[in-house]
Amino acid sequence: MAISLLIAQEVDCAYVLAALLAPSMATSKTSKSRSDTRESLLKAASQVVIDKGVEALTLDAVAKQAGVSKGGLLYHFPNKDALIGGMVEHLIQEFEAVLQTEFDQDDAPGTPGQWVRAYIRATLRFSKQSLALIARLTSIAADSPNLFEAANVYDQQLRQRIEASGIDPTKATIIMLAIDGLWLSEVFQVGTLEEPRLAQVLETLLEMTRTD
């Protein structure tokens, strides 16, 4: 009798707990679903731009590529500018993740120049697809600079981290400008360096972060 009562009480508690948790679990699932949908839309938009160019980037084209209704797309991105802004922010997040990984895996952690070395390696590791997307998006940067404000802010934050990395700020800036030049040559496929020259240049830049 006592056992039956105890079981009944435990079952009641389980129902109460489930009822209390259900709304938060449902909210969590909904948030994840929305996040996944947003991610899919950004990937679809990126693919449209890479395959067909920025001029082909329309809300209809992205909705079709993602396999969602236009209304579903508009829920996340009310207009084309919002979509492009989302793509820029996604690229920033992608690069920051690579940068943080390289920082954490540095071969001389805690020593001067760690952020500079991370920047060099992260720039080289950035995916070819992302490079292609950036190359396409830069074609509209001059006409719509406001869409790239987040990128400008992030660039300033990067420069502050690099200049405060413990080595001479001027040297850190020179290294950053050099790696930016290599990155741009890769983006636009102009004046790209071949091996072994590329490896030699990169090793020289890395060595500059270790000596002052």
The residues spanned by each domain of the chain are 84-212
At residue 11, the pLDDT reads 43
At residue 6, the pLDDT reads 35
Q: Say how far apart CA 71 and CA 174 lie, in whole Å.
A: 48
At residue 10, the pLDDT reads 44
HSE-up of residue 150 (Cα within 13 Å, Cβ side): 13
Q: Give yes or no for a contact between 73 and 135, defined as CB atoms under 8 angstroms apart.
A: no
At residue 116, the pLDDT reads 97
Q: Say how far apart CA 167 and CA 40 lie, in whole Å.
A: 41
Name the nearest CA neighbour of 59 among 39, 92, 84, 34: 84
Overall fold of domain 84-212: Tetracycline Repressor; domain 2 (1.10.357)
Per-run averaged pLDDT (10 residues), the chain, 212 residues: 41 50 52 82 96 95 96 96 95 96 96 97 89 88 87 95 95 95 88 91 96 72
Length of the chain: 212
